[in-house]
Chain A
Amino acid sequence: MKQAITGNAGPKVRSDIEVTLEITATGGIELNLKSKVKTMYGRAIEEQCRSLLNYFGIENARLSVNDSGALPFVIAARIEAAVKALTGTEKCFMPEMAAENLYSSSRDRFRFSRLYLPGNSPGMFLNAGLHSPDGVILDLEDSVAPERKDEARILVRNALRVVNFYGAERMVRINQGERGLDDLEMLIPHNVQLVLIPKCENAETVHTIDERIRKIKKREGQNEMVFLMPIIESAAGVERAMEIATAAESVVALAIGLEDYTADLGVQRTKEGRESLYARNRLVVAAKAAGIQPIDSVFSDVGDMEGLLQNVLSAKAMGFEGMGCIHPRQIAVIREGFSPSLEETEKAKKIVIAYRDALEKGLGVVALGTKMIDPPVVARAEKTITLALRLGLLPENWMDVEKSKN
């Protein structure tokens, strides 16, 4: 008898459920329930299992569930995946879309930190948004084992409908090739706001994905633009950075993935990163030329916060405007690193005020003390002020506050 096993169980597993399903010829539904939360939710889990099997038209089956406190959307995803594995049904069971998940994103929002969430680990989804990342990435690519790809996709779909990410940009990293397009089919309708394109090497890939997304959105009668963030992870990708950055209007950022890039070069990835300096410079320049955000690779030592901060500061100095993170504790450090420092803001304030004063007085030359200030310096200071204003580090009326001090 064919059997499908989905989900996870084990001493370290939390908020997940392992489902073992066998479809039988007779005998009705035989349900075997093991759960950490049986006293409080045993009956609810049993009812949910039975009603799901009924929904999928299964009348005779042996179903064993081993539950570690999974929430209902996880249970539904695991059972649907098991049913699909056995019957190949196209039918989907969609949990209700939560009203609070219908917010929208915007092209130029901050993307300082984006938190990777392995797509088949539901326990990590629930509180992800509480740590205030700029984006959450539900990852279907490298963090999901090949044989778990199908069930992860269903789980991610349910998560997109049910889990509150508290305003973080809702991102999905799809798989490469055909599977990636199938990922889009299942996920795009559920308010995905940005798609990460892994191992992107040319504009063609971006076109294919962009067109597919437009088609799905049209079919669903949805209008919002789904943004794209191609990830460059190879020498070929670096060489075509500009082509990729300008491939579609929906591309809002260009990211670099250094593990794969250094592997492609056949060199070790080091903390100093000399081996990837050219690639990172090239990517920043291409992104800036295209008017989009350059985003740096993740920092993989989650215990080393000082190292992370240094890494962020050097990325910022190179022109990057964001970085991936793989642990919630990295978020605050990354945000702090990319935010203008107190000194930067103070200096920018002085320059901008001097510039305005010079304009008012009709002076052709701007000077701060005895130092002449060139137009690009003023432009940079204004960018810093804009950033500080958007981050809430400066009050809107900062100039009045500043002038009242004198």
Chain B
Amino acid sequence: MKLVENAAGRQVPDEINGKEAVPFMGVGKYRPTGRKYAPPIPTCIDYPEDNNKVVGSLKEALVRCGLKDGMTVSTHHHLRDGDLVSNQIFTIASEMGVKDLVWLPSASFPCNDPVIQYLEDGTVNRIEGSMNGPLGMFVSEGKMKGMAVLRSHGGRVQAIQDGDVKIDIAILAAPAADSFGNARGTGGPSATGVIGYAKPDYLYADKVIVVTDNLVDLPCFPMEIEGNYVDYVVVVDKIGIPEKIVSGTTQITKSPDRLLIAELTTSFLEKSGLLRNGATMQAGAGGTSLAIAVYVHQLLKKKGWKLSFGFGGSTRYMVDMLEEGQMGYILDAQAFDLDSVKSIEKNLNHIPYPVFNAYNYHSKGNLTTMMDIMILGATEIDTGFNGNVVTHSDGLLLHGIGGWQNCLHARNVIIPVPLFRDRIPVIVDRVTTLCGPGELIDVIVTERGIAINPRRQDLIDSVRGKGLPLVTIEELKEIAEKMCGKPEKAAFDDRVVAAIKWVDGTVIDAVRKVKR
């Protein structure tokens, strides 16, 4: 393996875990060739005539799937921090003496921290997926055997579809399933609302196991997972801890400073004309984003306007817009709170919509380019408008990419952030890790001013002279440094511990082991 400079000027490995890797070539520059990956052709000969695929235990299912050294196992993250399934896979594998597994989750949560012991004992070679908290720390300290690969939600779909990763066994937890393997996200004690991330897994994996705590009569409908892609169904007592799956209620921030940023953002949306009757919008579930959703809702009501649709992760604030007539539809890949789960169950205009359709860059168009207004976060933004979401300024890998990279393709990307957190400036001269190129990031809203990307002269013109505190990104950086002092850069070893993939599967940056 050697390091090469990619089109963004970052040193990236030309080989990842023994496989050749393509360095980032620029936005929209890399063209895939060949055909999509296809799993082996199955036959009904191998499946029971009564189509009852229920087996006795997860271990039995894994054994029947032929779990062995070096395999790639995938999971989805909709049980979030209440996931009782994923860790079990590795406990079983460890007991069986299986080594060097690759875990491909769509995201991990603090409840997955026990996987660290299986990384240490050799059961798991590496994680390819979003890593948070202690897992990220473990990787940053160079303790993981293989190289981590971080992909966006859409990048994960792309990698599976293109055969960059081949899933041997997909283990998909489902809040409701029937004995044939049809499954959905609603109903039962562990309802997640949708299972919006599992589609590539069941379409492309060699073997598929559905795990449920709510076996229902045939047919389990509406079926988000289709039974004729499923090998085994496992029934357990509990797949998740309900209160940790969805929060009872998502809360808007109480911080007056964050609320101020939310107000400024909303004011920008109004004065720029981006918010209009029929616009499309996506905002996340962070406290500031929720506050923006509330302010936008008030503004829509005042103007008598309606958004044509919003894309989830849904929250009760979006559900309020839907129910009160300020949003036509919610397209939803994940539900963040109980109100959203209930809304999916009862409201036909609240539509489960997998990230498979929404985010995959190697498809015939996707949803993100249809969004007029995209509200995102970041740990760092640099003066070239480049963004970082995976590491902190101290170099530690502490967040996943989520859908962030995919969402950058929206028409107007707006990032509300505080100018500094504690003493640490968010606006810096060069992001520690490059996750998104500056040409796709349009507006940074901070409590001390709004910086618009000079590439977006149209946006600058649209708000000039309208009383908004417009500044340049350089000015923001200077204000932050004047208040906080110029931060020193984190020191790294040479060893690459994680590769950051762009939405097209090329390598946009690499994370190195932190120096202690």
Contacts and interface: CB of A to CB of B under 8 A. Distances in A.
Contacts of B394: 37-40
Closest 7 CB pairs of A and B: A69-B422, A40-B487, A328-B256, A39-B394, A69-B423, A127-B257, A37-B423
A71 B425 CA distance: 12
B447 A127 contact: yes
Contact of B422 (A14, A127, A327, A329): A14
Contact of A39 (B259, B260, B488): B488
Of residues B423, B485, B490, B491, which shows the largest number of chain A Cβ atoms within 10 Å of its Cβ?
B423
A68 interface: yes
A71 B484 contact: yes
A214 interface: no
11 contacts: A14-B422, A15-B422, A40-B423, A40-B489, A40-B490, A41-B487, A68-B422, A69-B423, A71-B483, A131-B256, A329-B259
Contacts of A328: 256-257, 260
A67 to B, nearest CB: 8
Nearest to B395: A39
Contacts of B484: 41, 71
Contacts of A126: 483
A16 B448 CA distance: 21
Given A15-B422, A41-B423, 19 more contacts: A37-B423, A37-B487, A38-B394, A39-B488, A39-B491, A40-B393, A40-B394, A40-B424, A40-B489, A41-B485, A42-B488, A44-B485, A44-B488, A69-B421, A71-B485, A72-B485, A126-B483, A127-B257, A327-B256
Contacts of B483: 71, 126
Interface residues of B, number: 21
A70 interface: yes
A43 interface: yes
A36 B423 CA distance: 9
Interface string B443-471: 00001100000000000000000000000
Contact of A41 (B256, B448, B488, B491): B488
A43 B488 contact: yes
A395 to B, nearest CB: 15
Contacts, number: 61
Contacts of B424: 37, 40, 69
Given A44-B485, A70-B423, A130-B447, A39 B490 contact: yes
- Interface-centre pick from B256, B260, B395, B421 (highest chain A CB count, 10 A): B256
Interface in B390-405: 393-395
Given A40-B394, A127-B447, A15 B423 contact: yes
Interface in A66-87: 68-72
B393 A39 contact: yes
A130 B423 contact: no
B479 to A, nearest CB: 9
Nearest to B396: A39
Interface string A46-75: 000000000000000000000011111000
For B259, B422, B448, the residue with the greatest tally of chain A CB atoms inside 10 Å of its CB is B422
Contacts of A43: 488
A126 B487 CA distance: 19
A69 B423 CA distance: 5
Contacts of B490: 39-40
Interface centre among A15, A37, A327, A329 (most CB of B within 10 A): A37
A243 B447 CA distance: 44
Contacts of B487: 37, 40-41
B382 to A, nearest CB: 15
